[in-house]
Chains A and B, each alone.
Chain A
Amino acid sequence: MGYTMAISQELLNILVCPLCKAPVHLKADQSGLKCEKCRRVYPIKDDIPVMLIDEATIEPE
């Protein structure tokens, strides 16, 4: 089951980076949620977003 089925746009609108509180967006390949400010990517494991600062990776851009 694709992740998009489990999360609505309504929820994406209120999701933010747990660290800098900037909006996040779903990556094109749906592998994670990326912070628009600090570029942290929060992975999605078993269809559940892992919104933990320590589990995030920082993308160069």
Chain B
Amino acid sequence: MEIEESSSAKLTIPEVVDAYSRLAPLYGIWETLTEGRTGKLASELASVRSGEAVLEVGVGPGIMLESLARANSEGIIAGIDLTPAMLQRTRRRFRHRSLASPALFQADVRFLPFADGSFDMVFSSYLLDLLSIPNIEKALQEMRRVIRPSGRLMLVYLSQDKPWFNRIWGFFYWMVPMLLGGCRPIHVAAHLPSAGFAVVATRRITQWGIPAELILANRES
């Protein structure tokens, strides 16, 4: 039951919105448990400088966006998500911490509502794992479009590095994709060169048994 690269995503876009609307109240706890250290490593790797224009695609409950905002108090912080419940949670998170409101939009990564070259960096964690291969390619193409020449792309996703994990996750993904938020391990690096990105750094990390891969890439002009 190993997940093949060619396997299509099991959830359709409306199902993803539905699943994440249901998961929204719990997702913050899950994310803190499983993604905290991963997020810290991602922040270090992305090394956001204050004054930059940064976009997070798929903000979820806003944990990573908060970390990006704290590193970038002088710049632009924008975030999109398909799920209104997640955007509301992100907004509340910033309010409760008395942080300046980020610019939030309900939007689809395949059709980003931003002009070409708008951002110094685009960040995305555990989003590509949800998409079919053609949609991953479309997402990378759109992310490239909104990044300025030689700007950065930072990706975090479930790694295919651990075959045992692929088998266990694959079983549950096959049984109840919604329980896992529709994510499955994927191999993203292979798609980057053809999408116009050069990989700068790759890191692997396992936290609470969940293997993640982090990739920092530069947009080639």
Interface residues on A, range: 20 to 34
Q: A19-B111, A49-B105 are in contact. Are A11 and B84 (CB under 8 A)?
A: no
Report B's interface with A, CB cutoff 8 A.
53, 76, 78, 80, 84, 87-88, 91, 101, 103-108, 111-116, 118
Q: Which residues of A contact B78 (CB under 8 A)?
A: 11
Is A41's CB within 8 Å of the partner chain B?
Answer: no
Q: Which residues of B contact A45 (CB under 8 A)?
A: 84, 106
Name the residue of chain B whose CB is nearest to the CB of A15: B113
Q: Which residues of A contact B108 (CB under 8 A)?
A: 18, 52-53
Q: Which residues of B contact A50 (CB under 8 A)?
A: 105-106
In the docked arrangement, what's the CA distance between A7 and B103, Å? 6
Q: Main SS of the interface on chain A?
A: mixed
Q: Which residues of B contact A7 (CB under 8 A)?
A: 103
Q: Which residues of A contact B87 (CB under 8 A)?
A: 48
Since A47-B91, A52-B107 are in contact, a sample of 13 more A-B pairs with Cβ atoms closer than 8 Å, ordered by chain A residue number, is A11-B103, A13-B115, A18-B107, A18-B108, A19-B111, A21-B116, A24-B113, A48-B88, A48-B91, A49-B105, A49-B106, A51-B80, A51-B107
